[in-house]
Chain A
Amino acid sequence: MCMTCGCGPDAVSIDGKSLQHEHEHSHGHSRHSHAHTHAHDHAHDYAHEHDHAHPHPHDHLHSHEHGPLDAAHAPGTSAERIVQIEQDLLAKNNGYAQANRALFARQGIFALNLVSSPGSGKTTLLIETIKRWQQNGAVAVVEGDQQTSNDADRIRATGAPVVQINTGKGCHLDAHMVGHALEHLQAGHALKHDSLLLIENVGNLVCPAAFDLGEAHKVVILSATEGEDKPLKYPDMFRAADVMLLSKTDLLPYLDFEVDAAIRYAHQVNPAIRVIKLSTKNGEGFDEWMDWLQTGSRQARTSQA
């Protein structure tokens, strides 16, 4: 069981192969495998112990026990002792995210985590973005869906390298899965220095908000065919994002969607969120979106660690 993704290794797969299966093949890539052989092994006791090419952070439990005197105050049986823990539930995911972030920093990669409801048009938006970006830069994609490789197949048609993560029953990508996807891209020499990395999360406006993947920014997509009050209904996601793409604007003449209200609600939960209105059909807003991407990518390249 993968403790960060909440799914058994048989449920999570990358490019159709289960994580368990992949691990069996990853023993040769032992760049960081020493980390699993030293004294910290005790903290890494879940089912899929194995060598990874990406570093696995180890949580060191900084707990201390109270002695017998404290035990006298403990509820329940007289033999019960209290062990103080004070450990963050997301610490492990955040450790993996930091490892991903360090990789991006070393290679000047500008990584984005794209989140939205199902059906907002994320994949179509990605395809149009990739086509434009390819004119002057490298781009790679990590696709997250519960099932099927349909989206990856659509992305692949653009010529951009893509890895599909199927989360099985999982409702979000986590940093551990993304780390494995990055390994795949690297193994195929598909993760270029100074490139743009687009991570399309599972369509879900709730769960992905809490899980840092190591991205520079979360970008939330709100399409005009949804309700304009989604920022109020799902404030965590709109608060976690730095950019809101208000998409499918070409359909606005046929809808009752109130653009100003949507933007107002987004700013209500996140005053700093940048809003870009765009349409993949008529190209509206793409200049602004591509400019924003270019600026971010330039910063990632120049601040390369």
Chain B
Amino acid sequence: MHELTLAESVIEIVENAARQAGVTRITRVKLSVGALAHVESDALLYCCEVVSRNGAADGARFELERPPGRAKCNACGQEFMLDHLALGCPHCSAHEVTVLDGEQMKVVEIGVV
């Protein structure tokens, strides 16, 4: 359940941001967690709601976008979408691939009042 740790990070980041913006209430939190990041969406959202209680983000709407994984084959050079790290290149079956996108975990923006 490292989603709880990640949720703690989310809440710390957004509460700091709200404080710096001079506001006390966060209405919306937009997160971006790549499809290849090992995070359970539902668990992360649930943990965010739990951890946000009694703080500036209490009651905020947590939105999670999961950008797809994208990789480039080290053998044939083609780029492709990657759903799972154990899958290789769909064109030449090589497993030596470089992940280009889909591993990020970040807070994108918040809505505040």
Question: Can you report 15 A-B residue pairs in the complex whose CB atoms are below 8 A from each other?
Answer: A61-B20, A74-B111, A80-B28, A80-B112, A81-B21, A81-B112, A85-B108, A86-B107, A90-B9, A172-B5, A207-B1, A207-B2, A210-B38, A235-B86, A268-B86
- With both beta carbons as reference points, the residue of chain A lying nearest to B110 in the complex is identified as A83
Give the complex CA separation of A206 and B18 in angstroms.
32
Is B65 among interface residues, defined by CB-CB distance under 8 A? no
Known interface pairs A82-B111, A87-B106; A206-B2 also in contact (CB < 8 Å):
yes
Is B16 among interface residues, defined by CB-CB distance under 8 A? yes
Cβ < 8 Å to B, chain A residues 239-293: 239, 265, 267-269, 271
Q: How far apart are A177's CB and chain B's nearest CB, in angstroms?
A: 11
Known interface pairs A61-B13, A76-B111, A89-B13; A239-B85 also in contact (CB < 8 Å):
yes
Is A136 among interface residues, defined by CB-CB distance under 8 A? no
User: Footprint of A on B, CB under 8 Å?
Assistant: 1-2, 4-10, 12-14, 16-21, 23, 27-28, 37-38, 84-86, 88, 95-96, 104-113
Q: How far apart are A167's CB and chain B's nearest CB, in angstroms?
A: 10
Contact A77 B27 (CB under 8 A): yes
Interface Cβ pair total, 8 Å cutoff: 128
**Interface residues on chain A, size class:** 35 or more
Contacts of A170 in B (CB 8 A): 5
Q: How far apart are B6's CB and chain A's nearest CB, in angstroms?
A: 5
Contact B13 A171 (CB under 8 A): no
- Closest 8 CB pairs between A and B? A6-B5, A207-B2, A235-B85, A89-B105, A236-B38, A89-B9, A235-B86, A85-B107
Cβ-defined partner of A80 (8 Å) among B6, B7, B16, B27: B27
User: Footprint of B on A, CB under 8 Å?
Assistant: 1, 3-6, 42-43, 45-46, 59, 61, 63, 65, 74-77, 79-93, 170-172, 174, 206-207, 209-211, 231-232, 235-236, 239, 265, 267-269, 271
Q: How far apart are A171's CB and chain B's nearest CB, in angstroms?
A: 6
Known interface pairs A1-B8, A85-B107, A89-B9; A80-B113 also in contact (CB < 8 Å):
yes
Extra pairs beyond A82-B111, A209-B38, A271-B96 (7, CB < 8 Å): A61-B13, A61-B16, A74-B111, A92-B12, A206-B2, A207-B5, A269-B95
Contact A65 B13 (CB under 8 A): no
Known interface pairs A63-B17, A77-B27, A236-B85; A171-B111 also in contact (CB < 8 Å):
no
- With both beta carbons as reference points, the residue of chain B lying nearest to A46 in the complex is identified as B12
Contact A88 B28 (CB under 8 A): no
Contact A85 B8 (CB under 8 A): no
Give the complex CA separation of A230 and B7 in angstroms.
27
Known interface pairs A3-B9, A77-B27, A171-B1; A89-B106 also in contact (CB < 8 Å):
yes
